Structure 1
Amino acid sequence: MERSRLILAGLLQLLAVLYAVWFYGDRQYTLALLVFALPPILLMIGVMARRRTAAFWAGVFALFWFSHAVMVAWADPVKAPFAWAGIVLSVGIVLATSWPAFAKRFGSRE
């Protein structure tokens, strides 16, 4: 379970960095950071502090991040590379949050 927690924290950190780079130069950059980059950072802190609900909420938020990235990838070819990176990171976050349950259910220790 320790490894999946570290992977989850790393993916959340990468997602926050992705959003910071993605919206760099935007007129509403500060607002974009508050809306998109701050939640993964706060969840990463919660995961590293071993808060029980942080991983759950990371998985829930990842569904929203995934949906947003799919919408952008479909609608804006210029921003599509950022969106595809967001899709990959969102799926990774969902898998990282689910991994301990998969391991427990199927008898693996990671």
Structure 2
Amino acid sequence: MDRSRAWLAAMLLALAALYAVWFLGDRHYTAVLLVFCLPPVLLSLGVLVRRTSAAFWAGVFALFWFAHAVMVAWSRPAEAGYAWGGIVLSVGIVLATSWPALRGRFRKKA
């Protein structure tokens, strides 16, 4: 397995764990698990079994996760630490999904 795929799977699982801890104790915790935690876990499994569509959808979802985290960091100072973790992880996910294409684009031609 190449490093970008391993990093992508690890960051997706870290994001799911972040959301699980972030909303721990919420009265709608089951909904939180279904909406925020399940998608990155399923996408990480898809990445690990080399489904090319999983990496694409991880990048698309990361844009939504990024927007959500920025909104929370801006509007709820008490949750800003979790939100900044989400910002860093979502940017990392976008970079990990783009890395193989960037590497191919800028590879030295022999």
Q: Report percent identity of matched pairs.
A: 69
**TM-score normalised by L of structure 1:** 0.96
| Equivalent residue number for residue 77 of structure 1 | 77
5+ residue gaps in structure 2?
none
Instruction: Return 5+ residue gaps in structure 1 as ranges.
Output: none
Give 1:94-105 correspondences, 5 Å limit: 94-105=94-105
1:95 alignment partner AA? L
1: CA distance between counterparts of 2:52 and 2:37?
21
Corresponding residue SS for 1:24: coil
Partner SS state of residue 17, structure 2: helix
CA RMSD in angstroms comes to 1.0
Alignment of 1:47-86 (within 5 A): 47-86=47-86
Q: Work out the CA distance in 1 between the residues paired with 2:82 and 2:33.
A: 15
How many angstroms apart in 2 are the aligned matches of 1:81 and 1:52? 32
1:88 aligns to 2:88 (yes or no): yes
- C-alpha displacement of 1:104: 0.3
Q: Which residue of 1 aligns with 2:27?
A: 27
Name the SS of the counterpart of 1:31 in structure 2: helix
TM-score (norm 2): 0.96
Distance 1:39 1:56 in 2: 13
